Amino acid sequence: MYFLKKHAWLLLLSGLGAGCQTAMPDSSFGKDLEFLRKHQSVLLLQAEDNPDAQVAVVGAWQGRVMTSTATGAAGSGYGWINQSLISKGTYQPHINAYGGEDRFWLSPEGGQYSVFFEKGKDFTFDNWQTPPLIDTVAFETVAQNAQSASFRKRAMLENHSGTSFDIEILRKIRVFSRKENEKWLGTTLPEGIRWVGYESENTLVNHGADWQKDTGLLGVWILGMFTPAPATTIVAPYHNELQLTDNYFGKVPDERLRKGSGAVFLRADGKYRSKIGLTPGSTTGAAGSYDAARQVLTLVQFDVDAAGDYLKSTWEHHAEPYRGDAFNAYNDGPLADGSQMGPFYELESSSSVKPLKKGGSLTHHHRTFHLEGSKEELDAISRKVLGVSLAEIEKAF
């Protein structure tokens, strides 16, 4: 949804209700959970060895992780929730942007293989429509316990080129124990650290005809929406040669985007609309953000195939449709008239794609971690996972 032009966002905001949050809400995970339960059935998962590490999942919104906490009901909820839209209780045109830390989407959004534009329709906002499958259709909950929940959905889709897909989506959310967090982060968590970590495992199964590259493929796209703050900075580590896209909405100003020797930094204050993308050959498969005021370190990890095909999603015909980004980050901001959907910021990952035979599948993993603690303790974790110190992050802007 981030390739919309400015006039399109104005129309979208009018449909969603422009009375959305314009400041960081004074809330807590417990209050957010109470609000969600007034409108949907919520599955509350928690780590087996840490009752304060909790994750709220809504099956009716495609098994979406809405928010999480490392500090129990009274602590902060990390996910951005569009309370204004949810409170309306009615579907909106084009998209229902409910929010959430880990939501399932399909790529590509634009281009000749798009599943957001019908065949024969121009790439304009009036013609853009989020498929109900990843917007309003409920996924079936097939299994649940205290630490995990699994969902499935069978559906038919047609892309912009007229290719039909008979697919099944399998999705599992699992909350990590301390030991599992330490395994994925590659470091010991000090006793003073408050933590929550979880994973979404996302599988696409082809039940129809064999997929062909020249008629279009589908990919998994995971997007996490988080609450911004003035002192929050996004960190996107890279290796090899940096291959960065930084002009999705026009060139990102230097005062908002910095390129270090091993990482790219983007402001996540919710005050300026900007987006970046890293190719599969550049991203390390990890990224994150740091809120220096609250001392909260957020980390994401995801599957990457450096030599794989990744779908492009810009609203145009693509000469090279399989040379897209593996990682994206977005910072929300006000439009020309001062209206704004958020504020929020996003950390996103996409799967590689391949021509699936009938019965074939592809799976994409996306992991999210939130850590609170002393600067010294968080610094060691940041250095290990992101390859940069907290001092470097704080000095970026």
Reported as a single tens digit per residue, the pLDDT across 50-102 is 999 999 999 999 999 999 999 999 999 999 999 999 999 999 999 999 999 99
- Rounded Cα distance, 240 and 116, in Å: 33
Going by C-beta distance under 8 Å and a sequence separation of 6 or more, which residues neighbour residue 345? 225, 226, 228, 232, 234, 268, 270, 289, 329, 330, 331, 332
- Rounded Cα distance, 307 and 305, in Å: 5
- Rounded Cα distance, 181 and 290, in Å: 18
Any idea how long the chain is? 397
The pLDDT-based confidence of 249 (bands split at 50, 70, 90) is confident
Q: pLDDT tens digit string along 150-189?
A: 999 999 999 999 999 999 999 999 999 999 999 999 999 9
Cis bond before residue 25 (omega within 30° of 0): no
Q: 92: exposed, middle or buried (C-beta count within 10 Å: 0-12, 13-18, 19+)?
A: middle
For 25-29, 140-144, 333-337, which range has the lowest pLDDT when averaged over its residues?
Answer: 25-29
**Domain locations in the chain as residue ranges:** 6-226+294-379
Q: How many CB atoms lie within 10 A of CB 294?
A: 12
Q: Are 198 and 224 in contact (CB under 8 A)?
A: no
- Rounded Cα distance, 211 and 370, in Å: 38
- Rounded Cα distance, 319 and 300, in Å: 31
Element (H, E) at 28: none
Give Cα 15 to chain centroid, integer Å: 22
Structure tokens at 232: 């929050």
> Which one, of 319, 254, 265, lies nearest residue 289 by Cα?
265
- The identity of residue 29, as a single letter, is F
Q: pLDDT tens digit string along 279-317?
A: 999 999 999 999 999 999 999 999 999 999 999 999 999
Fold for domain 6-226+294-379? Answer: Beta-galactosidase; Chain A, domain 5 (2.70.98)
Bridging pattern class, strands 257-259 and 345-350: unpaired
**Dihedral sign, CA of 306, 289, 257, 225?**
positive
Mean model confidence pLDDT for the chain: 93
Strands (E), 176-262: 194-206, 219-226, 232-237, 244-245, 257-259
Residue with tokens 């990390």: 78
Cis bond before residue 343 (omega within 30° of 0): yes
Residue with tokens 């996924």: 139
The pLDDT of 22-38, averaged and rounded, is 81
Q: Are 376 and 253 in contact (CB under 8 A)?
A: no
